[in-house]
Structure 1
Amino acid sequence: MAMNHFRLQSDALIIGSGIAGSVAALTLADQGRDVILLTAGADLKTGNTSLAQGGIVYRNEQDDPKILEKDIMTAGWRHNYSRAVRHIARKGPEVLKELFLEKYKIPFNQRKPGDWYLTREGGHSMARILYCDDHTGRNIMEVLAEAVEKHPNIRVLTQRTAIDLLTTQHHARHLDFKYNLSNQCVGAYVFNDQVGKVETILSKFTMLATGGIGQIYLHTTNTRGSIGSGLAMAHRAGTRLMNCEYVQFHPTALYGGTKRGERRFLVSEAVRGEGAVLVNSRGERFMPRHDPRADLAPRDIVTRAIMDEMLTSGDDSVYLDCSGIKQDVDKRFPTISERCRKMGLNMAADPIPVVPAAHYFCGGILVDNRGRTTLEQLYAAGECSCTGVHGANRLASTSLLEGMLWGHSAGHDMAMRLNRTSGLSRKLLDSIPDWVPHGIRDEDPALISQDWANIRNTMWNYVGVSRSSNRLNRAFVDLRKLTKNLQDFYRETALSKSIIDLFHGSQTAYIITVAALRNKETKGCHYRID
Structure 2
Amino acid sequence: MTWESGADLVVVGSGVAGLTAALRARELGLRVLVVSKDAAGAGNTSWAQGGVAVFRPDEHDPADSVRGHVEDTMTAGAGLCSRAAVRSILGAGSEAIDRLRALGALFDTDADGSLSRTREGGHSSFRVIHAGGDATGAEVQRALSDAARDGGIPVLERHCVVELLRDDRGAIAGAVALDAEGRQGVVHAPAVLLATGGLGQLYSATSNPDVATADGVALALRAGAVVADLEFVQFHPTVLYAPGGARGRRPLITEAVRGEGAVLVDVNGERVMAGQHPLEDLAPRDVVSAAIYRRADETGAGYVYLDATGIGAGFAERFPTVFAACRAAGIDPVREPIPVTSAAHYSCGGVLSSVDGRTTVPGLYAAGEVACTGLNGANRLASNSLLEGLVVGGRAADAVAHDRRCGLRTRRSSPDVAGASAAVVDRDLLQRTMSRAAGIRREAEALSEAATMLDRAGAVRPLDSRQAVEDSSLALTAQALLLAAQTRNESRGCHRRTDYPDTDDARWRRSIALRLDVSGWLIRTEPELIGGVA
Shift of 1:113: 6.9
Residues 143, 259 of structure 1: CA spacing in aligned structure 2 closer, same or farther, 3 A cutoff?
farther
Q: Which amino acid aligns with 1:184?
A: A
Select the residue among 25, 30, 34 that pairs with 1:33.
30
Q: 1:50 aligns with which of 29, 46, 52?
A: 46
> What does residue range 386-397 of structure 1 map to in structure 2 within 5 Å?
386-397=372-383
- State the one-letter code of the partner of 1:465: I
User: In angstroms, what is the RMSD of aligned CA positions?
Assistant: 1.9
CA contact (8 A) 1:48 1:222 kept: yes
Partner of 2:449: 474
In structure 1, the partner of 2:139 is 139
Letter in 2 for 1:454: L
Change (3 A) 1:329 1:273: same
Check if 1:462 corresponds to 2:437. Answer: yes
Do the aligned residues in 2 keep the contact of 1:207 with 1:381 (CA within 8 Å)? yes
Partner of 1:443: none
The answer for the alignment partner of 2:177 in structure 1 is 190
Q: Label 1:423 to 1:114 Cα distance change in 2 as closer, same or farther (>3 A).
A: farther
Larger % of helix: which?
A: 1
> How many Å separate the matches in 2 of 1:438 and 1:331?
50
Q: What's the counterpart of residue 64 of structure 1?
A: 65
**What's the counterpart of residue 452 of structure 1?**
427
Paired position in structure 2 for 1:436 = 418
Quote the offset at 1:14 in angstroms: 0.4
- Please list every run of 5 or more consecutive structure 2 residues that lacks an aligned counterpart in the other structure: 500-534
SS at match of 1:249: strand
| Residue 314 (structure 2) aligned to one of 324, 328, 339 | 328
In 1, the alpha carbon distance for the partners of 2:384 and 2:260 equals 18
Q: Is the 8 A contact 1:258 1:264 kept in 2?
A: no
Structure 2 SS opposite 1:389: coil
CA contact (8 A) 1:185 1:375 kept: yes
* Partner of residue 476 from structure 2, selected from 498, 507, 510: 507
Q: 1:498 aligned to 2:467?
A: yes
Question: For 1:235 and 1:206, how far apart are their aligned partners in 2?
Answer: 14
Deviates more, 1:275-284 or 1:321-330: 321-330
How far residue 327 of structure 1 moved from its aligned partner, in angstroms, is 6.5
Match of 2:21 among 19, 24, 30: 24
Q: CA deviation at 1:420?
A: 4.4
> Residues 227 and 508 of structure 1 are in contact (CA less than 8 Å); yes or no, is this contact kept in structure 2?
no
Report the residue type matching 2:129 in the other structure: L
Structure 1 residue identity aligned to 2:451 = F
Can you list the C-alpha shifts for 1:244-298, whole angstroms capped at 9, x where unaligned? Answer: 1000000100012899532001000000000001111122212113222111111
Q: Are 2:129 and 1:130 aligned?
A: yes
2:91 corresponds in structure 1 to 90
CA distance in structure 1 between the partners assigned to 2:407 and 2:8 by the alignment: 11
Runs ≥4 residues deviating over 6 A: none
Match of 1:477, SS state, is: helix
1:45 CA drift (Å): 1.5
TM-score by length of 2: 0.89
Alpha-carbon distance between aligned partners in 2 of 1:19 and 1:258, rounded to the nearest angstrom: 34
Q: 1:105: Cα distance to partner?
A: 3.1
Correspondence for 2:100: 100
Alignment partner, residue 510 of structure 2 = none
| Maintained 8 Å contact 1:57/1:93 | no
For 1:136, the aligned partner's letter is: T
Counterpart Cα distance in 2 of 1:359 and 1:148: 27
Percent identical residues: 37
CA distance in 2, matches of 1:114, 1:202: 47
1:52-81: CA deviations, max 9, x gaps? Answer: 000001221532111111000001112101
Q: How far apart, CA to CA, are the structure 1 residues paired with 2:228 and 2:465?
A: 30
Q: 1:418 aligns with which of 369, 380, 404?
A: 404
Q: 1:462 to 1:32 in 2, by over 3 A?
A: same
